[in-house]
Structure 1
């Protein structure tokens, strides 16, 4: 853990210092589906992956505001790289909330030493994405884990896998398993057209030994209203905000190099009044998403400080608004940036499609239509949203 990250400002400075180097190679990695092993290691070395480790365990204990801004900065540089630690932060948060003392000390100490956590949650065979067949069983005096997970983002880069499973006594658990444990197979079979280098493929668990001290009661975690799911959604929104900002940052270079349309009667495409208005509208959309992201983070921190039902609901609503706004801004900016460079922007070599591809792929994760449902029910009859509407 870097000793230089002690507060919000130092974390943001570290993220901004880190971003340019990874941005320089992001397009080439995407085009070649080259997994960012060096970049993930460099991200760990900054100490940014430990920003949420509680102060009681030697971490800076920074909150939602810092997490959202750091993730957005990294996502503007490389959206795939920013998504890789999404579950890392989520499953640190789950341990912080309901983990045993042994589990907390194990995880937080490992993360402060540079360890990374990845998820193994979703399966392909259930009726919905929250239905699990993967099971933790007692066998011959030990705990054994078997099953198959998909969309296991970042698994190939991880030291620890957080595996959601059916518990040996009923209910749902999360088992924290070494990624290199016997019986664990990580397959790099992710072939999505966007977020290409997240390593979001298949993980198989074949009679894997599990330490009982490193198992979390997931049913208990979800039994009480909290900001747990909302914080997870906030990170997804931050990734989309970063994609939108990264795409918009490409516009000046495109407009400066493009030829003006003859009907505009200007010397530069950058002076075409229709393009200027379009750029202004995009800037408005991205700034609005950024503002809503900050507001959502503030609501989450306020709710964590109060634990009241109204505050928890307001945090969920604010995050739903941020999520929808961020997704729309990311998809729109990734699509419309081509207007500023003309036909040459369609070249495969330019690889400008990656912004839209990343936005379109990532925003499939949690349907925005359900965020609008929550906002709509609140607007009409003040119905509170669920507090754990996340993966």
Structure 2
């Protein structure tokens, strides 16, 4: 596989905008038929977009958090499933940046620049909570490991060249094992049946005695032993996806009202777009969406500032800023995608139009982690100066 190497932030944004325009026309049909976007992901890989966080000293563009968030927002305005698939990819690139040895960094960054994709195998079903990881990484006499476990919601794994697996060793410490897609004992099952984000293939990964060389395992537990941005960056991308869903739904609603809706007879106007009550509602929805976009930019700037001067205080400020953005983005995604029908009228509910994909995507993606706990951490920080906890979901 070969891929273009993006030079800088400006080129990364231009490539993302171009791909979003390319992916948008087919998004509804892909969703309706649940046609998995293999060709589109190959285009994304070949464009170089998946390697934009590779450090400059390894030949990458090393783009900032604002650029990365905007890439995800742009993609999500076109197709929320396509935007979601590489979210974990970038989270696990970040693990290599922070915890990889020089040899691991050299190997994996070369893989990324060649267009290789990371999936994920992190969440498990039937455990006490999301942090209760029971997949085991058992050592062998030769220094290598064996992986055993079952993972769910494994977005991107079906399309991946490498599948990062969250697992615990005998001392209960958390590690990431990077497993090639063809490894013996590894099975990826396409059994995702979510009502939204239908083409993410967020199914099951089974690990039945998968052999893993020692140099493919990274000590992820060390990430959370000091100030870190792993959680903030991962959540920033989720916020960008929700913000993009809101913007995409708003744009489609406006186009529908301009071209297909009839005015309500009591309005006294010739077109629906002239209806003062619809104009008012679109203004409200625009405010909601623009607020999400502004908070996303502010959060990204906070992450970039903390990256330049990482401390307990700057990491906490970044995590709280991202939490604020994520709460507003989730609200905007659900409200705007639901209001699409309110402003567009009865015709918009036709299943054949598939306008409900925006709401289905928003409702599904915003379930990833509860906004109510983010509000708790925001309140504690603002009122009492309590720093948020160090984990990958904040």
**Whole-angstrom distance in 2 between the partners of 1:167 and 1:110:** 26
> Please, which of 195, 214, 217 is the counterpart of residue 215 of structure 1?
217
Q: Does 1:263 align with 2:266?
A: yes
> Please, which of 250, 253, 256 is the counterpart of residue 251 of structure 1?
253
**Contact residue 135 and residue 145 of structure 1 kept, 8 A:** yes
Q: Does 1:279 align with 2:282?
A: yes
> Please, which of 292, 314, 317 is the counterpart of residue 317 of structure 2?
314
Tell me the number of residue pairs that the alignment of Structure 1 and Structure 2 aligns.
Answer: 390
Q: What root-mean-square deviation, in Å, do the aligned CA atoms of Structure 1 and Structure 2 show?
A: 1.2
Equivalence for 1:289 = 292
Cα deviation for residue 169 of structure 1 reads 4.7
Cα deviation for residue 170 of structure 1 reads 3.8
Equivalence for 1:62 = 63
> Which aligned segments of 4 or more residues in structure 1 are displaced greater than 4 angstroms?
none
**Contact residue 230 and residue 388 of structure 1 kept, 8 A:** no
Structure-to-structure mapping, 1:137-286, within 5 angstroms: 137-141=138-142, 142-256=144-258, 257-286=260-289
Partner secondary structure for residue 119 of structure 1? coil
**Contact residue 65 and residue 304 of structure 2 kept, 8 A:** yes
Equivalence for 1:9 = 10
Structure-to-structure mapping, 1:323-362, within 5 angstroms: 323-362=326-365
Cα deviation for residue 340 of structure 1 reads 2.6
Partner secondary structure for residue 130 of structure 1? coil
Equivalence for 2:92 = 91
**Whole-angstrom distance in 2 between the partners of 1:103 and 1:168:** 23
**Whole-angstrom distance in 1 between the partners of 2:229 and 2:174:** 19
Equivalence for 1:376 = 379
**Contact residue 254 and residue 340 of structure 1 kept, 8 A:** no
Unaligned runs of 5+ in 1: none
Cα deviation for residue 313 of structure 1 reads 1.2
**Whole-angstrom distance in 1 between the partners of 2:171 and 2:179:** 19
Cα deviation for residue 252 of structure 1 reads 2.2
TM-score if structure 1 supplies the norm length?
0.98
Cα deviation for residue 9 of structure 1 reads 1.4
Cα deviation for residue 172 of structure 1 reads 1.2
Cα distance per residue 1:164-194 (max 9 Å; x no partner): 0012454111000001111110000000000
Give the direction of change, closer, same or farther, for the CA distance of 1:227–1:140 in structure 2 (3 Å limit): closer
Partner secondary structure for residue 131 of structure 2? coil
**Contact residue 227 and residue 311 of structure 2 kept, 8 A:** no
**Whole-angstrom distance in 1 between the partners of 2:375 and 2:173:** 30
Unaligned runs of 5+ in 2: none
**Whole-angstrom distance in 1 between the partners of 2:340 and 2:125:** 35
**Whole-angstrom distance in 2 between the partners of 1:121 and 1:315:** 24
Cα distance per residue 1:267-292 (max 9 Å; x no partner): 11111111001001111111110111
Cα deviation for residue 6 of structure 1 reads 1.7
Partner secondary structure for residue 136 of structure 1? strand
Give the direction of change, closer, same or farther, for the CA distance of 1:155–1:316 in structure 2 (3 Å limit): same
**Whole-angstrom distance in 1 between the partners of 2:146 and 2:42:** 31
Partner secondary structure for residue 221 of structure 1? helix
**Whole-angstrom distance in 2 between the partners of 1:317 and 1:389:** 13
Equivalence for 1:124 = 125
TM-score if structure 2 supplies the norm length?
0.97
**Whole-angstrom distance in 2 between the partners of 1:303 and 1:20:** 32
Q: Does 1:387 align with 2:390?
A: yes
